[in-house]
């Protein structure tokens, strides 16, 4: 009695290019709507976040559609719910995409001034630029890294650099010419933000951020 032969397997298919994802007729419109929601969150929710109802009303989208898009964007970390659960802000993925388009380095004269300050001050000296309601990190101090860059760039209320921008936008900039915060990002630490203005007086950047603690606190 002979044993049955093993079933012959079909030959493996040769490796080829990855399958192309089919884009259905309705998907481009959905993608456009999702991008529009991101733009609206960036426009309306700087610092304080924006609610789904506000997005729906501003864009004229049905509430069900708005909630569905927000949930999808939040799942993929393009949006993040604010800590007080009152609304949404731009998430980690958007910050990462924005960081790929890095601002150009400052002129050599500016770098020389920053280097001189860093050599004389016991604290982090960071140079940032403002574009609309956005903070762009131009030159972060490598010896004193930013404590939470994502939070600083997303929530304008937690840092001196963000508060300086908010004050300028509200037209009530401090008479002292700077903004400050203490203990918001890290207990026992604080920072100052000094403005850099264009020739016409517009706020375009922030010159110095000094992080200090306890008896080591220094002034600028």
Residues 49 and 114 in one domain: no
Residue 5 inside a domain? The answer is no
Residues 87 and 118 in one domain: no
- State residue 205's pLDDT score: 58
Residue 20 inside a domain? The answer is no
18 falls in which pLDDT band (50, 70, 90)?
very low
Query: What is the CA 119 to chain-centroid distance, rounded?
Result: 29
Residue 186 inside a domain? The answer is yes
* 3-state SS, residue 100: helix
Choose between 201 and 153: higher pLDDT.
153
Beta bridge partners of 50: 88
- State residue 29's pLDDT score: 78
Residue 2 inside a domain? The answer is no
In this structure, is the dihedral angle defined by the CA atoms of residues 26, 30, 31 and 36, taken in order, positive or negative? positive
Domain boundary among 69, 96, 123: 96
Domain boundary among 65, 96, 127: 96
Residues 85 and 174 in one domain: no
What is the residue range of 48's domain?
Answer: 27-96
In this structure, is the dihedral angle defined by the CA atoms of residues 65, 66, 69 and 71, taken in order, positive or negative? negative
Residues 80 and 109 in one domain: no
Residues 108 and 188 in one domain: yes
Segment 99-108 shows an average pLDDT of 70
* 3-state SS, residue 78: coil
Most confident of the ranges 4-13, 84-93, 118-127, 145-154: 118-127
Residues 59 and 146 in one domain: no
**Which residue in 58, 29, 32 sits closest to 45, CA to CA?**
58
Query: Using CB atoms within 10 A of its CB, is residue 29 exposed (0-12), middle (13-18) or buried (19+)?
Result: exposed
3-state helix, strand, coil in the chain (%, to 5): 35, 20, 45
Alpha carbon dihedral 165, 210, 186, 167, in 10-degree steps, equals: -20
Reported as type and span, the H/E element at residue 209 is strand 203-209
Residues 83 and 115 in one domain: no
CA distance 156 to 158: 6
Domain boundary among 77, 96, 115: 96
Residues 78 and 115 in one domain: no
- State residue 13's pLDDT score: 47
**pLDDT tens-digit series, residues 40-54:** 888 876 556 788 899
Residue 19 inside a domain? The answer is no
Residues 84 and 186 in one domain: no
Residues 42 and 116 in one domain: no
Q: Give the distance between the most distant pair of CA atoms in the chain.
A: 103
**Which residue in 103, 196, 189 sits closest to 148, CA to CA?**
189
Strands 189-197 and 179-182, how do they pair? antiparallel
Residue 10 inside a domain? The answer is no
Residue 12 inside a domain? The answer is no
- State residue 69's pLDDT score: 92
Residue 18 inside a domain? The answer is no
Query: What is the domain-level CATH number for residue 77?
Result: 1.10.10.10
Query: What is the domain-level CATH number for residue 121?
Result: 3.30.450.40
Cβ-contact 50, 70 below 8 angstroms: no
Residues 92 and 112 in one domain: no
Total number of domains constituting the chain: 2
Residues 81 and 179 in one domain: no
């Amino acid at each position: 009695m002979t044993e049955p032969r093993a079933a012959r397997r079909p030959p493996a298919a040769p490796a080829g290019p990855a399958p192309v994802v089919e884009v259905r007729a309705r998907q481009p419109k959905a993608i456009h709507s999702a991008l529009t929601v991101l733009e609206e969150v960036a426009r309306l929710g700087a610092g304080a976040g924006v609610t789904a109802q506000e997005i729906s009303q501003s864009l004229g989208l049905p509430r069900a559609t708005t909630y569905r898009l927000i949930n999808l964007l939040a799942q993929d970390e393009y949006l993040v719910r604010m800590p007080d659960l009152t609304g949404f802000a731009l998430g980690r993925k958007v910050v990462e995409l924005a960081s790929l388009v890095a601002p150009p380095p400052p002129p050599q004269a500016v770098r020389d001034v920053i280097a001189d300050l860093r050599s004389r001050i016991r604290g982090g000296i960071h140079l940032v630029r403002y574009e609309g309601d956005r903070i762009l990190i131009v030159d972060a101090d490598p010896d004193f890294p930013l404590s939470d860059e994502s939070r600083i760039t997303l929530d304008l209320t937690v840092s001196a650099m963000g508060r300086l921008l908010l004050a300028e936008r509200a037209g009530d900039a401090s008479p002292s010419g700077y903004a400050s915060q203490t203990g918001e990002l890290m207990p026992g630490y604080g920072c100052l933000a000094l403005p850099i203005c264009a020739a016409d007086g517009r706020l375009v950047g922030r010159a110095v951020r000094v992080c200090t603690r306890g008896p080591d606190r220094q002034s600028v």
